[in-house]
Structure 1
Amino acid sequence: MQFQFVASLLAMSALISSTLGESHTIHFTNKCGKGTPTLVQNGVILSTGGDYTHDGPIISAIAYHTYASQQPGGCGLNGESCTLIETTLKNPTTAGSGSSTDISLIPPHTFSVTSGFGYYNGCDGFGADCTDANCPDAFHDPSQTWVQVACQTDNVDLAITFCD
């Protein structure tokens, strides 16, 4: 009985340590000359162009570029009227349960500026770019799940570029 208790404590300790050690950064490159990269999670703005680092997973965050001269009034808080990049960055706990990022042009989102992303510090070279409204690497309807770009590396980071 005592052995099981100690083993349970060690397992919990390992789980807590792995969670505390998780960290992800989202980096923006803005080549548009105006407008603002914006990172939002659950209706809260996390960044307006600066690097955003979070200790732990980043779940269901969205990024877009408010390019005021192209979009009257800019983007809505949830990226309405703009090209949207959706991301979840998390360390995998089982096969296939790690990070996933995609570009969305599902209405009310629409092409606004050239947008792209790529993972770094793991899964380097994995990403997608969207250069026009016909972007084949973007969701145009919810059934196009093959456009999601997955990464199964711990502590992976994400670089997002606008107007490249």
Structure 2
Amino acid sequence: MFSLFKLAALVATVATLAAAETHTVVFDNRCGTGTPLLKANGVTLSTGGSYTSQGPLEAAIAYLDVGCGANGEGCTTVETTLVNPTLPGSGSSTDLTLIPPHEFSVTTGFGYFDGCDGQGADCSSESCTTAFHVPTDTGVQVACQTDNVNLVITFCD
């Protein structure tokens, strides 16, 4: 016999699963060469396929490996934290970096989707103004305050 307690537990479990935090990173490599990489804490999460985190994706980096170092050294790098906001201003943040030892390698851009659509940045040269060149270039960070936001990273667009 299915008890009222078991029914309540089932409903609570389904509600928790439906409300679970997820974020997907998608790559669009139009270069015809190189391997898109997504890493967090030194662990490779993706080598070009879509990656979905079950919870926050914090301090991740992405780049097109065209002879880059192990953490994108020598290449244009996307830095991202995708997290549901718990307080105003505490949500997702993504940027492009050319802070040495990173340097321009290929045109690189990103954009949020399924929330904050149309917000993102592109860098098509070593002098682009949409990327970090020094650590104080904080104005280039692109924030998103939407739950479960996703990110597309494009190379050679």
Q: TM-score with structure 1 length normalisation?
A: 0.85
Paired amino acid for 1:25: T
Give the secondary structure class of the aligned counterpart of 2:143.
strand
Cα distance in 1, alignment partners of residues 82 and 42 from structure 2: 18
Aligned to 1:82: 75
Q: TM-score with structure 2 length normalisation?
A: 0.88
Cα distance in 1, alignment partners of residues 78 and 116 from structure 2: 18
Aligned to 1:52: 51
Residue correspondences, number = 144
Deviation at 1:63, TM superposition (A): 0.2
Deviation at 1:66, TM superposition (A): 1.2
Cα distance in 2, alignment partners of residues 54 and 43 from structure 1: 16
Structure 2 gaps of 5+ residues are: 1-11
Cα distance in 2, alignment partners of residues 58 and 107 from structure 1: 24
1:119 correspondence with 2:112? yes
Cα distance in 2, alignment partners of residues 148 and 99 from structure 1: 10
Deviation at 1:19, TM superposition (A): 10
Question: RMSD of the alignment, in Å?
Answer: 1.6
Cα distance in 1, alignment partners of residues 76 and 104 from structure 2: 5
After TM superposition, list the pairs within 5 Å mapping 1:32-47 onto structure 2. 32-47=31-46
Aligned to 1:31: 30
Aligned to 2:133: 140
Paired amino acid for 1:63: A
Aligned to 1:130: 123
Contact 1:20-1:56 at 8 Å conserved across structures: no
Cα distance in 1, alignment partners of residues 116 and 17 from structure 2: 20
1:155 correspondence with 2:148? yes
Runs (4+) of structure 1 exceeding 4 A deviation are none
Paired amino acid for 2:34: G
Cα distance in 1, alignment partners of residues 156 and 110 from structure 2: 12
Contact 1:35-1:66 at 8 Å conserved across structures: yes
Structure 1 gaps of 5+ residues are: 1-12, 68-73
